[in-house]
Chains A and B, each alone.
Chain A
Amino acid sequence: MERIIIDGLSFSLPLFIMAIGGIYSEKSGITNLALEGLQGFGAFTGALAAVLIAGHFSGSSQVTYYLAILFAILGGTLYSLLHALLCIRFKANQVISGVVINILAMALTAFLTKYLNRTIFSAASDKFVLGVSARITIPVLSGIPVLGAVFKDIYPFELIIIVVAVIAWYVMYKTEYGMNLRACGDNPHAVDAAGVNVGKVRLIAVMVSGGLSGLAGISFAYSISANFSSSIYVGYGYLAIAALIFGNWTILPTLGSCLLFGFAKSGGYYLVQLLKMPSSYSDLVMTLPYVVTLLLLIFFSKYNRSPRALGEIYDKGKR
């Protein structure tokens, strides 16, 4: 039971922060299917930074880990500029742009990982090996029966994600920028009429989604899978999109759907071990989050209301 909660949380939280990024972008009116590519590219830059500087610090130092997170956020933000450029400046179809960004991210990171491994580390490898960060257990609180597991064996990224998520929630619902952003997704003409630059609001929103996806990507790579390779692209970005769709593009319900995915996944693994099934059954368990997604979409899609101007190119002259 403890393991289900611990593993479930460490999977749900990165998904959640990526979904928040998606909410920012989509609430501002930019469809963002690029989350998958953004988290992959962010994880790549973070992992590269980590392997480059790992030698300069002693083995037990956590500096590498935090620098990797920083660089992943930077890398994700930088790469998201491409999506912003295509969608805002070049007026490309946003769905197509998202898919392009994903395909390019996969190709680029696979190529660069292999190339850099050969040239810098003279090793023929298609992955960057990363460590697992130290885990934190909060004394007292972790002693509570059952729920104490929430405070046990926490990865540092989980704390960072919670802090960032609270800030993101505050900015989205309590600040002027957040209000403009939400208005951009529903009625960009009104925002423009109020003297706010729609393109700029959207640009920032897309960059936020890039940075948050980068944070999610490095959390998956550093700690959960302990390396960066093309196996980072297993569809978590799309899962985050599905999560924000049942979360109805609002932050708190989205947390609920992310937790559901996380516990479906960790619970399934636990079940395979408990029933002593052969390891090939874990393939069936892996489908759980996706099956849950589809079923939930079937029940909830009807009540969903996407931002009204989502996916539309903003054209000043159009009425």
Chain B
Amino acid sequence: MKKNKNVFKRGMVRLLGNERYQAISIPLFAIVLSLLAGALVILFLGKNPLAAYQNLLQGSGLLPKPAYAGYKSMLTDFTSFMNAWTPMLFASLAVAVALRAGLFNIGVSGQMLTAGFVTSILVGYSSLSAPAAKPLVLLCGILAGALVGGLIGWLKHRFNINEVVSSIMINYIAQYVISFFINTYYVNPVSRQSNVVSREARLSLMDTVVGDLKMDIPLGIVLAVLAAIAVKFLLDRTAFGYELKCVGTSRNAARYAGIRVGKNMVLAMVLSGALAGLSGVTYYLGYFGSIQPKVLPSTGFDAIAVSLLANSNPIGIIFSSFLVTVISKGSTYMSSASGLESEISSVITGMILLFSACGVFIRYKVKNWEDDLTAERRDG
């Protein structure tokens, strides 16, 4: 028994012990654990987990499906996947920037909704031509998101209001107020959603004919990847990024070092809100063309998972948001192909989140095991 335990310890230390790679190895370990747990659940439901996971990949255009409808192929599935991935990437960056300053922006969904709504009525329903409308959409989204985010930061700085509580309150206020305006002025009586925005303002080129395919081309994805690189640079290579990190690590130490804590918290929330705003416009004026009243996008909450999984490293977020989008986007096809409830995908995402929250503990445990092993070796 003791020997077995030692083998386990040694294995775990060899697998996860190298501190240089822990930033990658521990999240990977969390993902593998949750996929295994998910597989167990699927097995317990009497379905084949491998087939289910394969369906997830097929639904996201990463593996070929057995059959395609006219004008569709793996490529169109993949572009449609990227269309869903774009807002997720922006939203996760928004969470990461706030986390760096020690703030928990759980209001990304509300900021997305506000930015999407404001931009829809200002630009989406206008008759501007495409070259004027598309940049304006981005600008409007950034401004609207930044204002809401900044408000949360300012409330925290000025009145000491916990940002989690204030952003949740703002989420609900935005949700109901916007639902009121949509239902009163902008509702489409058939779809019960807001009116569809103009093609010119849309950030994704929907149903574009390329060869013999009709695909949705998301323009925002290029911007999102560039944004991830820019945020990485900003956080790791500039004085502003350093100040944010100081504020996030220890507010008192930062204040003692002469860093203006309040200003940095507000700025972090402005930046986070701006990214959430971009996520909102790529969601409501890209992926979808309209807004469903009284519903907050779940993207803003899933983004927390994505960001935690990547340890709020912007480059890591590119990969983790890819993975989480595969799970959520592929779930529709999985549910039709294998008869599993599509909700199982959010359970798997939840488990990934759960295991990655234990990251600190895993790191601590591995360190402990390593110390045990060295002690044993020394004692003979």
Contacts and interface: CB of A to CB of B under 8 A. Distances in A.
Interface of A: 33, 86, 89-93, 95-97, 99-100, 103-104, 106-108, 110-111, 114-115, 118, 234-235, 238, 241-242, 245, 280-281, 283-284, 286-287, 290-291, 293-294, 297-298, 301-302, 304
Contacts of A100: 305, 350, 353-354, 357
Contacts of A280: 180, 183-184
Nearest to B304: A99
B41 to A, nearest CB: 9
Given A290-B172, A290-B173, A114 B354 contact: no
Interface of B: 45, 104, 106, 155, 159-162, 164-166, 168-173, 176-177, 179-180, 183-184, 294, 301-302, 304-305, 308, 341, 343-344, 346-347, 349-351, 353-354, 357-358, 360-361, 364
A241 B106 CA distance: 15
Nearest to B172: A290
Contacts of B169: 238, 242, 290-291, 293-294, 297
A15 B286 CA distance: 39
B104 A286 contact: no
Given A108-B350, A281-B180, A114 B341 contact: yes
A291 B168 contact: no
7 contacts: A107-B343, A235-B168, A283-B294, A287-B177, A290-B169, A294-B161, A297-B155
A107 B165 contact: no
B45 A115 contact: yes
A284 B346 contact: no
Contact of A96 (B45, B184, B308, B364): B308
A225 B265 CA distance: 40
Given A92-B361, A301-B161, A104 B341 contact: no
Instruction: Return the 7 tightest CB-CB contacts between A and B, nearest first.
Output: A104-B350, A111-B343, A107-B346, A90-B361, A283-B180, A107-B350, A280-B183
Given A103-B304, A111-B347, 14 more contacts: A33-B164, A91-B361, A92-B361, A100-B354, A245-B162, A280-B180, A283-B179, A284-B180, A290-B172, A291-B173, A293-B169, A294-B155, A298-B161, A302-B159
Tell me whether chain A's interface is mostly helix, strand or loop, or mixed: helix
Contacts of B162: 245, 301
A286 B155 contact: no
A95 B163 CA distance: 11
B301 A241 contact: no
Contact of A86 (B294, B308, B341, B358): B358
Nearest to A97: B357
A103 B180 contact: no
Given A280-B183, A280-B184, A287-B172, A241 B165 contact: yes
A102 B159 CA distance: 27
Contacts of A99: 104, 106, 301, 304
Nearest to A281: B180
A280 to B, nearest CB: 4
Nearest to A109: B343
A108 B180 contact: no
A96 B95 CA distance: 12
A308 B104 CA distance: 20
A107 B45 contact: no
Nearest to A115: B341
Nearest to A107: B346
A19 B274 CA distance: 33
A149 to B, nearest CB: 27
A92 B172 contact: no
Contacts of A90: 357-358, 360-361
Most buried by B among A90, A111, A235, A297: A111
Given A91-B360, A100-B354, A107 B347 contact: yes
Given A103-B304, A283-B179, A293-B169, A96 B357 contact: yes
A286 B174 CA distance: 11
A234 B106 CA distance: 15
Contacts of B172: 234-235, 286-287, 290
A108 B171 CA distance: 23
A89 B170 CA distance: 33
Given A110-B343, A245-B165, A294-B169, A283 B357 contact: no
